[in-house]
Amino acid sequence: MWRDAVLMAGKDLRIEARSRVAINQVAPFAVVVLVLFGFALEPDRGVLAQAAPGLFWVAVLFAGLLAVQRSFAVESADAARDGLRLSALDPAGIFLGKAAAVALELMGLEALLTAGVVVLYGTDLRGAALLLATAATATVGLAACGTVYGVLVAGLRVRETLLPLLLLPVVAPVLLGATRACEAALGQSLDDGWRWVTLLGVFAVLYVTLGILAFGSLLEEA
Amino acid sequence: MSGTANRTTRALGLAALSATAVTVYLGLVVTPPDQVQGQLVRLIYIHPASATFSFVACGVTFAASLLYLWPRTRSRRWDHLAASSAEIAAVFAALSLATGSIWGRPTWGVWWTWDARLTLTALLFALLLGYLALRRIGGPAETRSKLSAVAGVLLFAVVPVDHFATEWWRTLHQGDTLFRPKPLIHGSQLATMLLSFLAFALIYGYLLVHRYRLEQLEERLETEGLELALAERRAEGAAESGGVVGAGASQQVAP
């Protein structure tokens, strides 16, 4: 399973490195979203700095949708999904590999967006340990959940519109938990940030487990 | 089976109707207005029951989806049950959100407040809409059933996490729960509220049976509809070539 996962993740990341879709389209999109939030909220009143954690995670969520869609779009050409089904790779390995590739892309994106938030919204970064733990658990949860729903809708004609409707309400607790934990890390609230990290961890474990169990039969139907 | 009703469902429907009628009568006429909330307290005869049964219906969808996925218990009937229950859950969730808003506006002064339970119900409603959208994708019935069963399990597996997230979120920087009065409830009010739960249980059961049978009929139409239509046309053709009644008609059609 792990060997298959590494193979799969390597393949997806290689495609991204060569096609540059993530770098040339998804990352600029996320930055544009940050800039749009600046237009929507008055930048001079300190609202942006206050809302920075929430806006950051909304941007990650939107970009994550694109990353998931992209992850299964590359399998739709040349009947690659049939190839996957016939490849005798462990479905759990395929799931873990795809999720890991999405997670790594998202982490790169988060690093970029963090720089964006610091530059554009004037946020001071503090509480590095909590921030990193939040980013890690939230990203794994998002990637696992996204990959499960990505394959669920992969074979449908209405996948572009159905995926956001299915995925966004499900990842609502990730947005909630990650935002609160980041606020706590930045000293904007008196919440116990680690409690939220625990919640994010539970979410991640839940969806990684469900993904390992369900991916095989979902891939059959896709 | 041609309709969706039989004697038992009619009895169930009548029971639901009478329980509702008695609840309406008790709720609007007999019970006194509340000391603090006045007439607004009458929403207590709709709102808690619809919210509760929306959660119950979600639980049924979750359980039925699991049973469908479990190879030993896989059966079309679990898929039909999950689909029917989810639709009713969405209706009840919408009803409880609407009645909650109507109550919140005069009591809290706002249509919506980010209270933990409200937020959870709204999330649940969004999850249900996603699930129902997935059910309408068309395509082969088996594929659709399997996908929606997996989605049913996945969607509602997240509800406990949602519960903690919304509770923690709203109990930390609070304020709203202070304005959520739990008035000591008058005896007749309590009785009426309990009756409203019975009424909603009966309505849920009634709707579920009918929706379930409708689902079965829809699937039959999907799978057998074409063959049935072909057989009918063939029978027509045979009757016409027999030439007894159809002779005049076939002459009109034939050039």
Chain segment B178-206, per-residue pLDDT in tens: 444 554 566 777 888 888 999 999 999 99
The residue among B31, B38, B41 whose CA lies nearest residue B192 is B31
Contact B134 A189 (CB under 8 A): no
Block residue for tokens 């959870």: B120
| Contact predicate A94/A215, CB 8 Å | yes
**Sign of torsion over alpha carbons B222, B226, B231, B233:** positive
* Residue A155 DSSP code: T
High-pLDDT (> 70) share of chain B, % = 87
User: What confidence tier does A214 reach under pLDDT thresholds 50, 70, 90?
Assistant: confident
Q: How many whole angstroms separate alpha carbon B75 and alpha carbon B67?
A: 8
Most confidently predicted of A108-117, B155-164, B165-174 = A108-117
With vertex at residue B239, the alpha carbon angle to CA B233 and CA B244, rounded to the nearest 5 degrees, is 155
Question: What confidence tens digit (pLDDT) does each residue in B209-247 have?
Answer: 999 999 888 888 888 888 888 888 899 888 887 655 444
Tell me the mean pLDDT in the region B40-65. Answer: 89
Res A78 pLDDT > 90: no
Contact B165 A176 (CB under 8 A): yes
| Contact predicate B92/B208, CB 8 Å | no
Domain count, chain B: 1
User: What confidence tier does B131 reach under pLDDT thresholds 50, 70, 90?
Assistant: very high
Count of C-beta atoms within a 10 Å radius of residue A150: 28
Tell me the mean pLDDT in the region B77-101. Answer: 92
Q: Does A191 touch chain B (CB under 8 A)?
A: yes
User: What confidence tier does A144 reach under pLDDT thresholds 50, 70, 90?
Assistant: very high
Tell me the mean pLDDT in the region B87-105. Answer: 90
pLDDT of residue A98: 92
Count of C-beta atoms within a 10 Å radius of residue A144: 27
Question: What confidence tens digit (pLDDT) does each residue in A188-212 have?
Answer: 777 778 888 998 999 999 999 999 9
Q: How many whole angstroms separate alpha carbon A46 and alpha carbon B86?
A: 44
A155 vs B contacts (CB less than 8 Å):
143
Contact B169 A172 (CB under 8 A): no
Buried/exposed A84-117: b ≥16 CB within 10 Å, e otherwise = bbeeebbbbbbbbbbbbbbbbbbbebbebbbebb
| Contact predicate B199/B136, CB 8 Å | no
Tell me the mean pLDDT in the region A48-70. Answer: 90
pLDDT mean across residues, chain B = 82
B54 Cβ neighbours under 8 A, 6+ residues apart: B89, B90, B92, B93, B95, B96, B121, B124
User: What confidence tier does B80 reach under pLDDT thresholds 50, 70, 90?
Assistant: very high
**Sign of torsion over alpha carbons A73, A12, A205, A115:** negative
B153 vs A contacts (CB less than 8 Å):
210, 214
pLDDT of residue B176: 41
Q: How many whole angstroms separate alpha carbon B45 and alpha carbon A175?
A: 35
Contact B150 A189 (CB under 8 A): no
Range scoring the smallest mean pLDDT among A162-166, B94-98, B136-140, B195-199: B136-140
**Sign of torsion over alpha carbons A188, A191, A194, A195:** negative
Q: Does B173 touch chain A (CB under 8 A)?
A: yes
Option in B127, B131, B137 nearest A156 (CB): B137
CATH of the domain at B193: 1.20.120
Contact A149 B154 (CB under 8 A): yes
Q: Does A205 touch chain B (CB under 8 A)?
A: no
**Domain span holding position B167:** 7-253
| Contact predicate B186/B158, CB 8 Å | no
Alpha-carbon gap: B97 to the closest alpha carbon of chain A (Å)? 17
Alpha-carbon gap: A101 to the closest alpha carbon of chain B (Å)? 22
| Contact predicate B41/B63, CB 8 Å | no
Q: How many whole angstroms separate alpha carbon A185 and alpha carbon B210?
A: 53
| Contact predicate B209/B5, CB 8 Å | no
Q: Who wins on pLDDT, B152 or B32?
A: B152
Buried/exposed B37-58: b ≥16 CB within 10 Å, e otherwise = beebbbbbbbbbbbbbbbbbbb
B1 domain-assigned: no
Q: Does B164 touch chain A (CB under 8 A)?
A: yes
Q: How many whole angstroms separate alpha carbon A5 and alpha carbon A2?
A: 5
A156 vs B contacts (CB less than 8 Å):
137, 139
High-pLDDT (> 90) share of chain A, % = 38
Res A139 pLDDT > 50: yes
Res B174 pLDDT > 60: no
Q: Does B137 touch chain A (CB under 8 A)?
A: yes
Contact A156 B154 (CB under 8 A): no
Alpha-carbon gap: A61 to the closest alpha carbon of chain B (Å)? 17
A148 vs B contacts (CB less than 8 Å):
154
| Residues pairing with B38 in the sheet | B34
B138 domain-assigned: yes
Q: Does A203 touch chain B (CB under 8 A)?
A: yes
Which of 77-136 (B) contact A at CB < 8 A? 123, 126-127, 129-131, 133-134
Contact A162 B158 (CB under 8 A): no
pLDDT of residue B90: 94
DSSP B168-193: HHHHHS--GGGG---PPPPHHHHHHH
Domain count, chain A: 1
**Domain span holding position A189:** 2-221
| Residues pairing with B34 in the sheet | B38
Cα-atom radius of gyration of chain A, to the nearest Å? Answer: 18
pLDDT of residue B184: 52
Alpha-carbon gap: B112 to the closest alpha carbon of chain A (Å)? 18
**Sign of torsion over alpha carbons A14, A19, A21, A27:** positive
pLDDT of residue B182: 52
Q: Who wins on pLDDT, B34 or A12?
A: A12
B208 domain-assigned: yes
With vertex at residue A40, the alpha carbon angle to CA A37 and CA A46, rounded to the nearest 5 degrees, is 75
Tell me the mean pLDDT in the region B151-156. Answer: 87
B137 domain-assigned: yes
A168 vs B contacts (CB less than 8 Å):
126
Res A136 pLDDT > 60: yes
B173 domain-assigned: yes
Interface with chain B: mutation pick from A156, A208, A213, highest number of B CBs within 10 Å: A156
Strands (E), chain B: none
Alpha-carbon gap: B158 to the closest alpha carbon of chain A (Å)? 7
User: What confidence tier does B175 reach under pLDDT thresholds 50, 70, 90?
Assistant: very low
Using CB atoms within 10 A of its CB, is residue A73 exposed (0-12), middle (13-18) or buried (19+)?
middle
Q: Who wins on pLDDT, B248 or A154?
A: A154
